[in-house]
Amino acid sequence: MKKDFMFTSESVTEGHPDKLCDQISDAIVDRFLQQDPYARIITECAVSTGIVFIAGRFEPSANVDFTNVARKVIDQVGYEHTEFNGRTCSILTSLSELPVDQTYSFREQELSDEQIEQIPVKNQATVFGFACNQTSVLMPLPIWLAHKLAKQISEVRRENILSYLTPDGKTQVGVEYRNRRPYRIHSLTVIASQNKAKYPDLQQLREDIYETVIKPVFETEEIKPDEKTRIFINPDGQFIRGGPAAHSGLTGRKNAIDTYGEYAQHSGSALSGKDPIRIDRVGAYAARYAAKNVVAAGLADECEVQLSYSIGISRPVSIQVETFGTGKIPDEEITQLLEKHFDFRLAGIVKEFNLRFLPSMHKGGFYRKLAVYGHVGRNDLELPWEKIDKVGVF
């Protein structure tokens, strides 16, 4: 296990085409569950210049206008370009009905433990959850900082502090580690898109981004850029307009950004666009919940939880824990504690996190908010899998 190394993670703003697709997909999930908490919906989205394509499969228990949802998301994200905007873009849909499956029409709050045991998963998946004590939210520092920078780009655009910015942007943060602890900021990269080539010029953009994005982000951080930190702001030159007119987007293509910035493993499956009956989505939340409570309880400085599910079985066929040599007790003992005190069964996860009712309980929906800046490690949202209410069981 390497002790000294440099690690880099990236994030993107809500206007990045891939994230636009994630938001459209999850906004559709929200709309279905707001109408019927027990609705089944799986939806994916692709965007390019002037066009949006939506594929959806759903049980006919709700009436959702996919096109209207997509146009509203595009408008809210802030796309007003001639080449791409919510009013004039073409939207194609391919929609089909799922056969009604009474197995998943259960009322989870009324289920006994025996009944939970009888509800199997319908798709196979291996999911991962991770936590470490590098930040207050128990996330790796590189992805935490990359998200903060991306959020700040969007904030200065929405607040009209930099009125020339457009919604598309990217960030990247490299952190130097010593003895597996963050030591210094090795490098920062910020890519911001602008409306016009003539204003501002590249030098002005770089000065503006440094003053309004980079400096505020690090004001409250313990580790700050130093004189040796390499800072790149639009190193390839001006990025004009950006968005789907510049590069296409697809639901589920930013899994590392959605999770741990590649510092830890993640499933290859998309998280967005799926209702809570999909174990490849909610299982990842349960794994994060377990890993975070292990670290919060002081059993390890780093913890990765792996859950493997097979079709037709309610429980994971495998639960693995890896603490990378930081565990205070053997990993096998932590695994046994998780098996005893955490419910990793599909219906148990849905019940404990109240996943089918969250869109109705949150103004503006719930799952769409997860589609940018991470499904885990959020301190701006009250996520049930981010609670550390089980540290006492250890």
Q: What is the pLDDT of residues 182-241, one digit of tens each?
A: 999 999 999 999 998 889 999 999 999 999 999 999 999 999 999 999 999 999 999 999
> What's the CA gap between 258 and 13, in Å, rounded?
12
What's this model's pTM, rounded to 2 decimal places? Answer: 0.96
pLDDT single digits (tens) 96-123: 998 888 889 899 999 999 999 999 999 9
How big is the chain, counted in residues? 394
Q: Name all domains of the chain by residue range, CATH numbers in brackets.
A: 5-12+140-242 (3.30.300.10), 17-108 (3.30.300.10), 113-134+279-393 (3.30.300.10)
Closest C-alpha among 320, 309, 315, 302 to residue 269 = 309
Burial class, 324, CB count within 10 angstroms (exposed 0-12 / middle 13-18 / buried 19+) = middle
Alpha helix ranges (H) inside 162-315: 202-209, 215-218, 255-258, 279-296
> What's the CA gap between 252 and 256, in Å, rounded?
10
> What's the CA gap between 122 and 95, in Å, rounded?
21
Cβ atoms of 88 and 70 within 8 Å: the answer is no
Closest C-alpha among 278, 31, 157 to residue 23 = 31
> What's the CA gap between 95 and 54, in Å, rounded?
8
Omega cis (within 30) before 200: yes
pLDDT single digits (tens) 254-311: 999 999 999 999 998 999 999 999 999 999 999 999 999 999 999 999 999 999 999 9
